[in-house]
Structure 1
Amino acid sequence: MLRKLDQRLNELIAAVYPEERKRPGYARLAKEISERTGGAISGTYLWELATGRKRNVTLEQLDVLAEFFGVPPGYFLDDDVAERVNAQLALAAALRDTRVRNLALRAEGLSPASLDALLTMVNEARKFQNLSTDEDPDHPTTTER
């Protein structure tokens, strides 16, 4: 059940502190967590969780981590919840880029055919740059809706 705790914790840390050079150390992060949530967690214990050396976390500690990172506690326990949260985190990360945000905002109001054409161009550009072209099955890139 907690075999992916370290991975999920590290994904949350990276989402909150996207610039690796500006990420706090575990002691400072533990202090921030305690100050914001009132929950107690040590820097050493946080490091052990993030590196997979410890997995014996209490539900209370999971609640503290979930509160600090703004995710449901189920994020740490349920693959479906983690998948949904990670999709939201990926969207938030993409929207940090002003150009991505401007592209999305400027596309508002375009016809379905125009949006499909833009999606096709973006997918082709991603292929050209050898990037993933994972498409959202709920939003096909063709006008067959």
Structure 2
Amino acid sequence: MAAEGAAQRNLRNSQILARKIDLLLDVMVTAEGRPYEFQDIQTALFEKGVKLSRTRWHHIKAGDATVRQPPEVLIALAEFFQVNPDYLLNSDGAVPERIQHELELLAAMRRAKVKEFATRTLADVDNETLDAIAALLDDSKKY
């Protein structure tokens, strides 16, 4: 029973790590403004003396709990993405402030696109209804 609980925790932690890595990949971009690719990450880690194979990267991104991730790889990834290593090392690691701000900016941009679409699509709708829709979209940022 205890082994099953440990296995469940390990699976959960692996899935959390995978989501965190996906979040970093979604938010962080290269100096040229393009998303990071495996080769970018692998090269940067190699220059710091940390080997990251394509297989290990796949296991991390897939949330595979059968392969334990060495802390030095997670620390190197945290340094690469310029976040506190605790974020990747601990399942309850807080979302870095920089990432939180990027997420808020992305959410605001999405809401603005939805408002623009609603305004164009609902041209025949009265202003009061459009204001109500805009208020609902603004309230959605709380969630």
TM-score (normalizing by structure 1): 0.54
Residue number in structure 2 paired with 1:92: 102
Report the residue type matching 2:140 in the other structure: S
Residue number in structure 1 paired with 2:121: none
Q: State how 1:121-140 maps to structure 2 within 5 Å.
A: 127-129=135-137, 132-134=140-142
Greater RCO, 1 or 2 (C-alpha within 8 Å, sep 6+): 2
Tell me whether 1:7 sits opposite 2:51 in the alignment. Answer: no
Conserved 8 A contact 1:9-1:50: yes
Mapped partners of 2:58, 2:22: distance in 1 = 10
The total of aligned residue pairs comes to 104
Q: In the TM superposition, what is the alpha-carbon distance from 1:65 to its structure 2 partner?
A: 1.1
Conserved 8 A contact 1:5-1:52: yes
Residue number in structure 2 paired with 1:109: none
Conserved 8 A contact 2:25-2:36: no
| 1:34 aligned to which of 19, 33, 46 | 46
Q: In the TM superposition, what is the alpha-carbon distance from 1:130 to its structure 2 partner?
A: 7.0
Q: State how 1:1-145 maps to structure 2 within 5 Å.
A: 2-3=13-14, 4-17=16-29, 22-35=34-47, 37-53=48-64, 55-83=67-95, 85=96, 87-94=97-104, 127-129=135-137, 132-134=140-142
Q: Helix, strand or coil: the match of 1:129? A: helix
Q: Helix, strand or coil: the match of 2:68? A: coil
| Structure 1 spans left out of the alignment, 5+ residues | 100-123, 136-145
1:62-121 CA-partner distances (Å, limit 9, x unpaired): 1111111111221123354333x1x5313135558xx9xxxxxxxxxxxxxxxxxxxxxx
Larger gyration radius, structure 1 or structure 2: 2
Q: In the TM superposition, what is the alpha-carbon distance from 1:25 to its structure 2 partner?
A: 3.4
Identity of aligned residues (%): 21
Conserved 8 A contact 1:26-1:44: no
* Shift in alpha-carbon separation, 1:126–1:33, aligned structure 2, 3 A: farther
Report the residue type matching 2:64 in the other structure: R
Q: In the TM superposition, what is the alpha-carbon distance from 1:43 to its structure 2 partner?
A: 2.5
| Structure that is richer in helix per residue | 2
> What's the RMSD between the two structures over aligned residues?
3.4
| Structure 2 spans left out of the alignment, 5+ residues | 1-9, 110-131
